[in-house]
Every structure is written in C-alpha cells, then in structure tokens.
Homo-oligomer: A and B are copies of this chain.
C-alpha cells in the first residue's frame, strides 16, 4: 500500500504540470503588477464613465421636456428610421406600410397599396420627363456640361426604381435588424438608446432644411435669370419656360404642363438629396450597432472574462457583419449612384465656378449650392466610412485581453475582426472607407485640371442654355 501514495503524488505532479510550473509562477508575479495596473486603469475608466453618464443624466431633463416621447425610444433602428421613411413615402419613395409602427412585424409591402400606386405613378411621370430631357440633350451638341440634365433625371429615376425594389425587401430586412438588435448587449441608459435616433433625425432635418434653402435660392436666381432673358411678357411663364425647358422644347406653354414640370423638379430635387441622406442614415444605424457592442466590450476591457462571454460577443459581431452585408446588398446600387453623381456634379460645378456670375443672386445660389454639394459628399463619405471604423475598433478591446483569459474564442474573434472587411460598398466595386475620400478628392482635382482645358467661359450661362440642374 506504500506505492499508492507515491502514485497519487505522481498524479498530482502531472496535474500541476498541466496548470503551471513553479518557475513560471515566479515569473508571473512580475507580470501580475502590470496586469493589476491595467485592471486598476480599466476600473478607473469605468468609474469615470459612470460619473460622466450621471452628470449627463442630470443635465438632460431640460432636453427631456421638449422630447419626452423620444425618451421612450427602445433604441431600435426600425423606430429611429420610421419618420425618415414617412417623409420618403410622401415623396413617392419606399412605399412600405407600417413604418411608424412599434414593431417591425407590422411592416408590409403590397402592390395594391395607395403608397405603391403613387410611387408607380410618379415613376411613370419621371420616365416621361427623362425622355423629354434626353430628347432635348440629343438635339444639341453634347459636352461634359450639357449632359447634366440626363445624369440628374436618370439617376433620380434609377433610385426610384431601386427604392421600390428595396421597399419589397424592407419588412424582411427590418425583421433581421430586430433579431440582431434583440440579441445585442442591452443599452445601459436611456440616453444611449436615444442617441442613434436623435442623430438620424438631426441628419435628416439638417439635410432637408439645407436642401429646401438651396431650392429657394435656385428659384430666386431662376426668376432673376428669367426676367433678364424674358421671352414672353408673363414673368411666371418666363420662369417656367426656363426651368422646364425640356418640356417646352417639344410643346408650347400650358399652365398644366408648367405645374407638372415644377412638381417634377421639386420631387426630383428631394429624391436626389434623399439618396445621399438614406446612405448616411443606414450607415449611422449600422455603425451604432457596432458601437453598442464595443461599448459592452469597453466596460469589460482588460478584465478576465469567461470564454462564453467572448463566444457570445463573437456571434453578435458576426450577426452585425451579416446584417451589414444584407444592407449593403440592398442599398449598394443607391450608394454607387449617389457617389458617381456627387463626383460628376462636383466636377461640373467646379468647372462652372470659373465663369463670371451674371448677378449677385446667382453667385449666392451658386456658391451655396457648391458648398452644400461638397459638404454633403463629405458627410456621406465620412458617415459611411464610420461603419468600417467602428467595426475595426473592436480590435482595440481584444488587444487588451489579459493573457490569463486569452483563449481559443478570443483568438478566433480577433482573427475574424482582422480578416473581415466590413463596409458598405458601391456594388462591391469600391468600399466606403476613409481612404476612399482621399482618392475621390485626388480624382476630382485631376479631372478638374484636365477639364479646365476644354472650358470656354461664355457658353454656360447664355440664354439658350438649359438652366435648371
């Protein structure tokens, strides 16, 4: 029976070996201090954060009063995007039913719905208008500048058709968003729930207001212009003859046609602005989901977490990636139209900026419009690249996992974050990252320098030229 204790001791040693040799243990003590400091730091950060949140919460009541119902937000994308889609429906896009409902299961698309009919009607009307523009452009010498109306109306038409198709997929997409959101680590405060919706509303509001201001300025300048190049005695008729020259190129003036043209212009301008804003809003939504995950990771940064914690986070990360992929498939045509449009329009506008303006009204409108265009393009680029930035941020927290809890799951998570390229894209031809901004800027400068050589000053603002957009 004396051998048995010996055997037992051997077993014990075997176990020890698996866990930790005594040498390693001593060396670990050296490391322990470093880890403790890191933990201390993360604790401090945590406390600071809690304090900050407390302060903000105390400051909030003032805001809260003016937006109490906003505070009942559950932080879902469906709810945040509701009013945005409502506006879109008013402008004949995205004919989905139930966009302002509490739950995405209330969403539905039907061909017989009044929204869909309105949308289809407007598409038909737009096709007619596009045909008229095409007819006029082809009957004049073609240049980089003269194809502007086709590009404008063509891309609006394309976006309309894509948005109709998107509307059919929307209920499903929102259900998937809902599943992903439900699974994510919950928001800690009402404030963080409220944030995404607030940003989306602000972007939409600002975009709409600037777009409206631009339209007003464009009208002022057009009236100015029309009175200068007056073809008839009626100033209103002059105005419509100018701004809808593609209609009155084939037919004579009637008030009904003029009103149809005006309606068409207002709606097209909105849709042209809306596509940029839509890309921004989807980007904000996706980036905020990654942020929600990252916030949770930051809270536990540097701490020893169980492998299941990491595997859970990894699956959540994966789900957001899949969501991102699905959304990209759904809207990437809109993204491409939006980017190529902005690229073309900035080139044209910069080229026009070389001209001397006929009046102050023109100058104000022109520069406002140019800076709005550049600002909008920059905003789309930066918001959409923020999805990629947020998705990479996760890596920062994974780098700080202490070596004790570095396990298979953390490794797998890290490798996935490194190797995946989570971005929105333009039909997969280009990916929306910050580096894209620079290359777009470089392309604009290069093309501009070459285009200037074809430029002749006085053929852009004469009375025979197509004026509006």
Contacts and interface: CB of A to CB of B under 8 A. Distances in A.
SS class, residues of chain A in contact with chain B: helix
A86 to B, nearest CB: 32
Contacts of A360: none
A422 to B, nearest CB: 12
Given A312-B30, A429-B437, A403 B409 contact: yes
Contact of A454 (B8, B10, B416, B452): B452
Contacts of A1: 3
A414 interface: yes
Interface residues on A, range: 35 or more
A419 interface: yes
Contacts of A415: 414-415
Nearest to A318: B399
Contact of A31 (B311, B416, B419, B434): B311
Contact of A429 (B311, B428, B434): B434
Contacts of A438: 429-430
Contacts of A428: 389, 434
27 contacts: A1-B3, A3-B4, A3-B8, A4-B4, A11-B11, A11-B14, A24-B308, A27-B308, A30-B312, A31-B308, A31-B311, A38-B315, A318-B399, A318-B400, A403-B409, A403-B412, A411-B412, A414-B415, A415-B415, A427-B434, A429-B437, A429-B438, A442-B443, A446-B447, A452-B454, A453-B453, A453-B454
Interface of A: 1, 3-5, 7-8, 10-11, 14-15, 23-24, 27-28, 30-31, 34, 38, 183, 306-309, 311-312, 315, 318, 321, 389, 395, 399-400, 403, 406, 408-409, 411-412, 414-416, 418-419, 427-430, 434-435, 437-438, 442-443, 445-447, 449-454
Given A30-B312, A452-B454, 20 more contacts: A3-B8, A7-B7, A7-B11, A14-B15, A27-B306, A27-B307, A27-B308, A28-B308, A30-B308, A34-B312, A38-B315, A321-B399, A395-B419, A399-B416, A414-B415, A429-B435, A442-B443, A446-B450, A447-B449, A453-B454
